[in-house]
């Protein structure tokens, strides 16, 4: 539920269910919810079988907390529409509810969530930055917009100060929350939204019923194999975005091999805009509308490049650090142009862009190394962060990072290998060890590092950052990777408050000895 807001206006639940051949006694309802823990009096409880738990086991709890109606998913077609009473509350069986929930929620909220132009961005890395760039650029050219994803729900009204109006638990919120957030954005005045589409979210159909007409593919590298098991299944989950109802255009990174698979899989049924930063102009730029960045130059606090596109050529001065931010910008520009914005107007606003908190965010120091705080927590994301950072320094590149516990352990040694290859000095530390021993995780990372002399190990994350900083000299550059915008460390099942951006800011400002 959006911060400090009331549930959207809604339609009669009995009228909506009648469209699915279900007749119930009309009841007063408040909003839909999947989580009995957050249920409020008058809510409609949707009982689905999830990945980790079965909502049907919480029906009694939901009713006790004040649910006015319960709708239960069933795989038995003959059970569809059957109603039982539990403590006087109607419990309704709905055949294959998961396939209809998005449309059901959209109808319940009077179609308000579908009155925005939607863009969905998927890929291993870059989703958050692209979503934020889309919303920011859209608002700067006059179309107010929202971004939904890892950093919550943010409303951009064209000023430099975007407003956070909702919290998200997952990168892609559940389908009910997604529609509710879109309603909140519409009520704030937004006309467009960009949502991060994770592989989990796509696999679980969390975008169902949203008015998404443009999809963006950024890249594909190893991640979430604990969930998908294989890279082929992971890639296939990402490509499910192309099956989104109403999606008619794609923006595809053709410097990533998987991007070519996307173009082939689209079968010529959707308009495709390709983008690239390749050294030479790709041949696909002649087959599709395109955006190609060349003559890339890296400065202390940004990048310059020549933009060659189907809509004209421009000299770009991007006030963001890192090669991948050029890719992120191209993706955002492509999606907005496909939705009707003019490239010239968008280009004119690039100089007003601000970095996304915790995404290659630069903190400058007058005495020691500057520090970049980044969310990179996969092998490829760490590699790209280090490659990009190296382009902005002529001295030592220092990295501070760890790996999460109770997650894909196979990437730990790979990230160690990446750190040794691309950084001059490596500090290994804690990063959401959860139920695992942080010492074991650090040792797993170190297995990928051949030259142990460049490795320093500190369990305490702040200590690791401080030691890296104090051991650096002016002109060096430190990348602190893994936490980014997050404000917690999860240790032994408990989330402790931890704000890395705040700590680094105090450290570089001289407020921490």
Q: How confident is the model at residue 443 (pLDDT cuts 50, 70, 90)?
A: very high
pLDDT higher than 80, residue 488 = yes
Question: Does residue 100 register a pLDDT over 50?
Answer: yes
Q: Which residue intervals of the chain bear CATH 3.40.1190.10?
A: 111-352
Tokens matching residue 451: 């030259």
Over residues 163-177, the pLDDT tens digits come to 999 999 889 999 999
Overall fold of domain 13-99: 3.40.1390
Domain with CATH 3.90.190.20 in the chain: 361-508
DSSP letter at 481 equals E
**Assessment of whether the complete model's pTM goes beyond 0.95:** no
Which candidate, 84, 105, 82, places its Cα nearest to that of 94?
82
Asked if residue 225 has pLDDT above 80, the reply is no
**Taking CA 408 as the corner, what is the angle to CA 244 and CA 428, rounded to the nearest 5 degrees?**
125
361-508 — its CATH code?
3.90.190.20
Write down the pLDDT at residue 395.
93
- In sequence order, which ranges of 372-470 are alpha helices (DSSP H)? 379-390, 411-422, 438-446, 461-470
Give 299's pLDDT tier (boundaries 50, 70, 90).
confident
Answer yes or no: is pLDDT of 3 > 70. Answer: no
State the Cα–Cα distance between residues 305 and 315, nearest whole angstrom: 6
Fold observed for domain 111-352: 3.40.1190
- 163 - beta bridge partners? 155
Q: Which residues belong to CATH 3.40.1390.10 in the chain? A: 13-99
Which strand (E) or helix (H) includes residue 305? strand 302-309
Q: Which helix (H) or strand (E) holds 15?
A: helix 13-18
Mean pLDDT, the chain, whole residue set: 94
Percent of the chain at pLDDT > 70 equals 97
Least confident of 48-52, 58-62, 216-220, 462-466: 48-52
Distance CA 84, CA 103 (A): 24
**pLDDT at residue 224 is higher than 70:** no
The SS3 of residue 98 is helix
- Residues 6 or more apart from 229 whose CB is under 8 A from it? none
pLDDT at 4 (0 to 100): 46
3-state secondary structure of 122: strand
Mean of the pLDDT values across residues 199-225? 88
């Amino acid at each position: 539920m959006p911060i400090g807001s009331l549930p959207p206006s809604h339609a009669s639940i009995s009228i909506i269910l009648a469209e699915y051949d279900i007749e119930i006694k009309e009841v007063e309802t408040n909003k839909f919810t999947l989580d009995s823990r957050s249920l409020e009096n008058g809510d409609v409880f949707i009982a689905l079988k999830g990945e980790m738990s079965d909502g049907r086991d919480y029906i009694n709890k939901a009713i006790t907390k004040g649910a006015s109606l319960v709708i239960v998913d069933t795989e038995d077609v003959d059970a569809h529409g059957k109603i039982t009473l539990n403590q006087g509350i109607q419990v309704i069986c709905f055949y294959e509810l998961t396939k209809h929930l998005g449309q059901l929620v959209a109808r319940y909220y009077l179609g308000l969530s579908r009155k925005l132009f939607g863009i969905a961005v998927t890929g291993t890395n870059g989703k958050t930055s692209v979503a934020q760039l889309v919303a920011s650029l859209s608002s700067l050219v006059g179309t107010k917009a929202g971004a939904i994803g890892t950093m919550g729900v943010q409303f951009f009204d064209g000023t430099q100060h975007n407003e956070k109006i909702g919290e998200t638990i997952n990168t892609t919120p559940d389908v009910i929350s997604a529609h509710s957030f879109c309603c909140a954005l519409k009520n704030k005045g937004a006309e467009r939204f960009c949502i991060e589409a994770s592989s989990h979210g796509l696999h679980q159909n969390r975008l169902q019923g949203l008015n998404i007409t443009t999809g963006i593919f950024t890249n594909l590298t190893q991640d979430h194999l604990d969930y998908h098991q294989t890279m082929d299944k992971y890639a296939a989950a990402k490509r499910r975005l192309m099956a989104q109802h109403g999606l008619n255009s794609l923006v595809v990174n053709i410097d990533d091999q998987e991007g070519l698979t996307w173009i082939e899989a689209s079968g010529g049924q959707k308009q495709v805009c390709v983008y690239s930063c390749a050294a030479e102009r790709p041949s696909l730029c002649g087959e599709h509308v395109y955006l190609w960045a060349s003559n890339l130059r890296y400065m202390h606090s940004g990048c310059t490049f020549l933009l060659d596109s189907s809509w004209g050529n421009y000299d770009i001065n991007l006030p963001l650090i890192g090669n991948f931010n050029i890719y992120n910008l191209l993706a955002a520009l492509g999606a907005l142009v496909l939705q009707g914005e003019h490239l010239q107007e968008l280009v004119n606003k690039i100089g007003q862009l601000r970095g996304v908190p915790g995404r290659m965010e630069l903190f400058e120091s007058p005495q020691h190394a500057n520090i970049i705080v980044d969310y990179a927590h996969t092998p490829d994301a760490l590699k790209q962060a280090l490659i990009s950072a190296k382009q902005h320094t002529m001295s030592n590149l220092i990295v501070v990072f760890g790996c999460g516990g109770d997650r894909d352990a196979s990437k730990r040694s790979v990230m160690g290998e990446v750190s040794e290859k691309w950084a001059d000095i490596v500090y290994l530390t804690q990063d959401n060890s959860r139920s695992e021993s942080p010492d074991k995780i650090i040792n797993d990372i170190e297995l990928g590092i051949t030259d142990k002399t460049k490795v320093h190990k500190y369990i305490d994350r702040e200590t690791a950052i401080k030691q890296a900083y104090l051991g650096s000299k002016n002109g060096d550059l430190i990348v602190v990777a893994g936490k980014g915008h997050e404000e917690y460390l999860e240790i032994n099942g408990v989330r402790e408050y931890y704000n890395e951006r705040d700590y680094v800011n105090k450290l570089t400002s001289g407020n921490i000895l």
